[in-house]
Chains A and B, each alone.
Chain A
């Protein structure tokens, strides 16, 4: 229950208009801090929903695939440059961001991750590594201003943010493959 409270507090904190405005004023903070924190708040809140509605998760997300698909769809959706612009200019889009990331990405991620086999997990990692590298390459390399609300410098910073994320994930995967896991099991 404690986790749920922490998650809820984090969620409420992030929705406070001054906090939201501040986090959204810088592109990379918007994308790589606010959005992940929203997902994390859902991740924490998931405990409550899993305890409350165990049958629902058991029936509809039995092997974890539906959940991880939903998580991926929401994540990719918010990686479209247009959605980030519209979150700033269209009110409905901003509300959808605050609902979709915790409840349609954070909760399914938590429920699904434990149910997924190692092959599925690796596929998810691989897809997101490729995606992050592509996004990084796009944001660093493209000459145009992709988002009307942010400058090109912000865009390049975000690009490097993506590349860094991808690099971290690759390091994680490499140590999984070559490291000795027996100590942890």
Chain B
């Protein structure tokens, strides 16, 4: 068993390692490993205006998607948790899970059809792209939050807080939200990871000036191998930064709420 596990890990890590090695290699054609060492490819990626723009766009899209997920996903999950019984709960579940079941490509064509019309001419705008990412990530947030809310037994804490004299907003702020912070943290990690790597929908609905990093990255593979490797390593770094930041943000806000307990 350990052998299988190790072999699988190597299988997983090897391409990433090769990308990393390749991004510093001067020449790489036909051989197993590249030859020479250079920073050139990173400098080229950093100097390329379309890559620079895509990098910032991606960061903005991830941040916006995370914020929208909290603003919309949290109340939605709470409403399902607190209010819905039986049939309504099932319906809410189906609706929230729909975007996962429908292929992204279908969703993207739907967006193109609706938002290229004269009435709603928003195709290619930043906010439409963010909305697309929201639709794709919201199911994960809502599903995870509802499960955690049910499992935490929030109802009893809220009842207790009510009998102690806390109004609905006070109960939310003092009792419900602080208990959900770990849950929110893991949701944001998932959302960030999904959003940063999203390609299918972004490729179809983003405008020329609002392309995300993965969309632009595709073009790198038509050029030099080293450049493609460096550009991909940057995406990896971007994904890690996004995950870490969203994780840290959730943790810090969570802790602040804990501190504000009484």
| Chains A and B are bound partners | no
Interface residue ranges, A against B (CB under 8 Å): none
Interface residue ranges, B against A (CB under 8 Å): none
